[in-house]
Amino acid sequence: MSGASASKSLGPSAYIVLGLVKLFGPGTSYDLKRWADGSVGYFWSFPRSQLYAEPQRLVALGLLDDQQEQTGRRRRVYRLTPAGQAILTDWLGQPAGFPELRDLGLLKLFFSTQQDGARIRQLATEQLALHQARLTEYERLRAPGMPSAAHPLGMGLLYERATLAFWDEVLAGTADPT
């Protein structure tokens, strides 16, 4: 068997932390937060405090090591260990399963009835604004060397366009019957 402690398969946030450290290099919890906000945070969010708790769990498991500064803030810098590298690589090779589209707007639409026409129009309008803004943001992000659409950002673009089309349709379907 390899050196990595098998534990009982970590949660997704553990792998997010490991992955961020692998991609961006060693860093503090605050660094993790900023990295996440600019990347995976767009489609997988969690509160800041988890980026303090999770690395400590990973240190206890030997998947990260931390080095506490002796000066100033004495903050902890996390670094990937060989075991952490190994377990991350292993995870990357396993099947990913089906994604989940946690969308409160869709839930509300589903639970609304015919009578709720006005409410549905309001919901659709609000969602259109949100997704339009997000799409604009993605298009701005695409600027640099980003070669192909074969990057999570590409999925973001496709998803936002599909969502806009959907809520447009909803709005058209409940056209104000004046």
Which residue shows structure tokens 């500064």?
Answer: 69
- How big is the site for DNA, counted in residues (CB under 7 A)? 23
The token pair that represents 5 in the structure block = 């402690």
Q: How far apart are CA 63 and CA 11, in angstroms?
A: 14
Which member of 57, 79, 119, 121 binds a second copy (CB under 8 A)? 119
Does 12 contact DNA by CB under 7 A? Answer: yes
Q: By CB under 7 A, which span of 41-49, 80-88, 108-116, 133-141 interacts with DNA?
A: 41-49
Which member of 1, 74, 93, 114 binds DNA (CB under 7 A)? 74
Which member of 19, 26, 62, 117 binds a second copy (CB under 8 A)? 19
Q: How would you label 32-54 residue by residue, b for 16+ Cβ within 10 Å and e otherwise?
A: bbebbeebbebeeeeeeebbeeb
Q: How far apart are CA 125 and CA 99, in angstroms?
A: 26
Closest by Cα among 52, 45, 49, 62 to 10: 62
Binding residues for a second copy (CB under 8 A): 12, 15-16, 19, 22-23, 39-40, 43-45, 88, 91-93, 95-112, 116, 119, 122-123, 126-127, 130, 134, 148-152, 154-155, 158-159, 161-163, 165-166, 169-170, 172-174
